[in-house]
Chains A and B, each alone.
Chain A
Amino acid sequence: MKKVQNEVKVRFLSASENESFSRTLVCGFALSLRPRVDELGDIKTAVSEAVTNAIVHGYRSTVGYIDMLLRTYDDRSLYIKIRDRGCGIADVKKAMEPLFTTAPEEERAGLGFAVMESFMDKLLVKSEVNKGTTVIMIKRIVGIDGYKTEKQN
């Protein structure tokens, strides 16, 4: 079993300013794993996608709380859970297809999930209509010291 090394929980409102706040926060949290610049960029982008989805789709024209749970594990992985209690997704599989969007008139490209999937190692989406959506993302950090094995340093 891998062990949790550090954990942070935050709750913030679904205001669009919090898109940049949340990704900056996750970056700061991930620093203890000494990530490479490109890894930080991947994490930032994936977090921005998930939080933006909660704001623009989950809470649409309403305002609600977004809960974020961050963990680092002793196998050098970063765990990110982002949860909203918004409208939820009826068909998750369909929603995750590249270019699928329910908001084309707002210039959404339908690529958020595709970006999360390709920039992180693991992506898990759980959703229930009118209850909300939970996105879990995990990424193993190679880091500037170049850890490659499964073993801890």
Chain B
Amino acid sequence: MALDIKLNKDKTKLYAFLDGEIDHHSSVFLRTDIDLNITLYKPKALFIDFSAVTFMDSSGIGLVMGRYKKMNEIGGRVYIQNPPNHIKRVMLLSGVNRLAKIVNADMISEEVETLEEGAK
């Protein structure tokens, strides 16, 4: 599991690109890393990108719900970006898409800075 965090120029949007398999084992590290950046930058929106996620169980739902709570505290929103079909199924089954909207973006249109290079 790798995580790549990016921030847009005016530091209002935080992007978390997930890569690999999300389960209970890997979600602990993802949660810690994303939350650290939420605390640091207090973004208005958090985009969690699932395009490179190959597997996800309900731990991924917990991950989105937890980030929703955290962003809600600072008045920000969470978006589920580019989930592949198998991931989308789990999202829809849980109804978490009512808290965090599913969006499809071809590419990030704005300039972003890389904060962290995905660690294992």
Interface positions of A (Cβ within 8 A of B)? 16-17, 19-20, 23, 38, 41, 44-45, 48-49, 52, 55-56, 106-109, 111-112, 114-115, 118
* Tally of contact residues, B, Cβ under 8 A: 21
By a CB distance below 8 angstroms, the chain B residues around A56 are 24
Q: Are A19 and B25 in contact (CB under 8 A)?
A: yes
Say yes or no: A115-B57 contact (C-beta < 8 A), given A20-B25, A38-B86.
yes
Q: Does B90 contact A (CB under 8 A)?
A: yes
A20 to B57, CA, bound (A): 11
A44 CB, min distance to chain B CBs, angstroms: 6
By a CB distance below 8 angstroms, the chain B residues around A118 are 93
Type the 1/0 row for B56-72, where 1 means its CB is closer than 8 Å to any CB of A. 11110111011000000
A96 CB, min distance to chain B CBs, angstroms: 13
Instruction: From the candidates B21, B25, B56, B66, name the one contacting A107 in the complex (CB within 8 A).
Output: B66
18 contacts between A and B (CB under 8 A): A17-B25, A45-B55, A48-B57, A49-B57, A49-B58, A52-B24, A106-B62, A107-B27, A107-B31, A108-B58, A109-B61, A109-B96, A111-B93, A111-B94, A112-B58, A115-B58, A115-B93, A118-B93
Apart from A52-B57, A109-B58, A118-B93, what 4 extra A-B contacts exist at CB < 8 Å?
A19-B25, A45-B90, A55-B24, A115-B90
